[in-house]
Homo-oligomer: A and B are copies of this chain.
Amino acid sequence: MPDPRPIAILGGTGPAGMGLALRWARVGETVILGSRDAQRAKEAAEKIKQKTGSESRVSGMENSAACAAADLLVLTVPFEGQAALLKQLKPAIRAGSILIDATVALAASVGGRASRTLGVWQGSAAQQAAELVPKGVSVVAAFHNLSAELLNGDEDLDCDVIVCSDDANAIHVCRALAARIPGVRAIDGGKLENARVLEQITALLIGLNIRHKGHGGIRITGLPPEAYR
C-alpha cells in the first residue's frame, strides 16, 4: 500500500532522483520532485508522467516548496552540493520530518575519481546531513547502492537497500519505502554511523562498473528471513 504521505525528492531531477521517483510513482506513491528551478522540476515530473500515466501523482516544485509540502524527504544530490542545500533548506524543513540521505562523498566531487571517496569529518555524508538539519528531524541513510540506470528502466531490481538511522521509526518508514521498489529488499543496518560503509560500497560498485561494464548492486546473504521483511 502506498504511504499516504507525499515523498519529496530534493535535488530530484538528477538520474538517481528521477529513478526513485519513477519507481515510486509506478506503485502509486505521491512524489514531489524538488529542484533549484521550479520549472525544471515541473518538466521532470511531466517526463515521469509520460512513463507512468497522467493519473500518477507526480509534481515538481522548487526545493523549499517541496520541503514545505512533505515530511518524507529524500536527498539525491552530489556531495559537493549537499551541505549548501541543507543549509539553504533548513528554515523550510518541517519539524518531525524524516530526511533520507543518499549522498556519497565521491572524490569526483573535487575532481577526483568516482571510484574513490573523500573522508568526511563526521564519518559519513549522512552524519554530516544529521548535523545540518533542524532539531527534531531524523536522518536516515539509504539508497546509495541502487544503480540510477537500472532505477530508470523497467526491470525489477536485483539489489538490497541497507537502511541506517538512529531513529528506529525512521528506519521502519524508510524500509517500507525501499520495499515498494520491485526486487528490492530493505535491511535494517543499525545506527546512522554505519552509513560510512554504505557510502564506501558505492565507490566500490562504481569501480566494478567501470572495470566490468555493468550496473553493479549488492545483495546481503545469510541473514534470517525476518531481516529482509
Contact = CB atoms under 8 A, between A and B. Distances in A.
Contact of A221 (B158, B190, B207, B213): B158
A187 B211 CA distance: 10
B213 A224 contact: yes
B207 A189 contact: yes
If over half of A's interface residues share one DSSP class (helix, strand or loop), that class is named, otherwise mixed; here it is mixed
B221 A208 contact: no
A190 B211 contact: yes
Contacts of A116: 193
Given A201-B201, A203-B197, A217 B222 contact: yes
B200 A197 contact: yes
Interface of A: 115-116, 147, 150, 158-159, 162, 187-190, 193-194, 196-198, 200-201, 203-205, 207-209, 211-224, 226-227
A174 to B, nearest CB: 16
Contact of A204 (B158, B162, B203, B211): B162
A115 B158 CA distance: 26
B227 A221 contact: no
Given A214-B227, A222-B217, A208 B189 contact: yes
A198 to B, nearest CB: 8
Contacts of A187: 208, 212
A216 B201 CA distance: 16
Nearest to A220: B216
A188 B190 CA distance: 29
A208 B220 CA distance: 9
Contacts of A219: 218-219, 221
B212 A204 contact: no
Contacts of A201: 197, 200-201
A221 B218 contact: yes
Given A189-B207, A208-B227, A211-B190, A220 B221 contact: no
